[in-house]
């Protein structure tokens, strides 16, 4: 399954199973889109497998956010979206290790 498919599945889960508001789901979608944009720059040839996203990649994303001029509260929100997404991926068995813990 492609990364975007997992994101779509996660957003549907957030809305239907977790009961998140449309606004919250839209914010998650926006935050995860920024993460995907980062990944596209890091992996220009594309991700062969979602398991390529490891602790090193996640730390690089955090560094990118820190140096992009976002407020600390905004960075926390963006990271929370990625954490929720990875918790979901771990729960459904798409990844073996949740590096966001």
Q: Are 46 and 10 in contact (CB under 8 A)?
A: no
Give me the CATH topology for the region 3-91.
Answer: DNA polymerase; domain 1 (1.10.150)
Give me 52's structure tokens. 């390529």
Q: What is the mean pLDDT of residues 56-65?
A: 96
| Residue 14: pLDDT over 90 | yes
| Residue 32: pLDDT over 90 | yes
Q: Render pLDDT for 72-99 as a digit per residue (tens, 0 to 9).
A: 999 999 999 999 999 999 999 999 999 9
Torsion angle of the four alpha carbons 16, 2, 31, 77, in this order, in degrees rounded to the nearest 10:
70
The DSSP letter of residue 52 is G
Q: How far is CA 96 from the centre of its chain?
A: 16
* Nearest by Cα to 41 from 63, 72, 69, 18: 63
Q: What is the pTM of this model?
A: 0.93
Q: Render pLDDT for 39-54 as a digit per residue (tens, 0 to 9).
A: 999 888 887 789 889 9
């Amino acid at each position: 399954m492609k990364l975007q498919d997992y994101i779509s599945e996660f957003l549907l889960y957030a809305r239907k199973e977790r009961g998140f508001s449309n606004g919250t789901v839209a914010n998650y979608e926006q935050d995860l889109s920024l993460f995907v944009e980062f990944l596209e720059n890091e992996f220009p040839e594309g991700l062969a497998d979602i398991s390529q996203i490891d602790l090193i990649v996640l730390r690089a994303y955090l560094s990118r956010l820190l140096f992009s001029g976002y407020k600390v509260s905004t960075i926390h929100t963006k990271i929370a979206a990625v954490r929720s997404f990875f918790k979901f991926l771990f729960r459904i068995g798409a990844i073996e290790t949740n590096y966001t813990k």
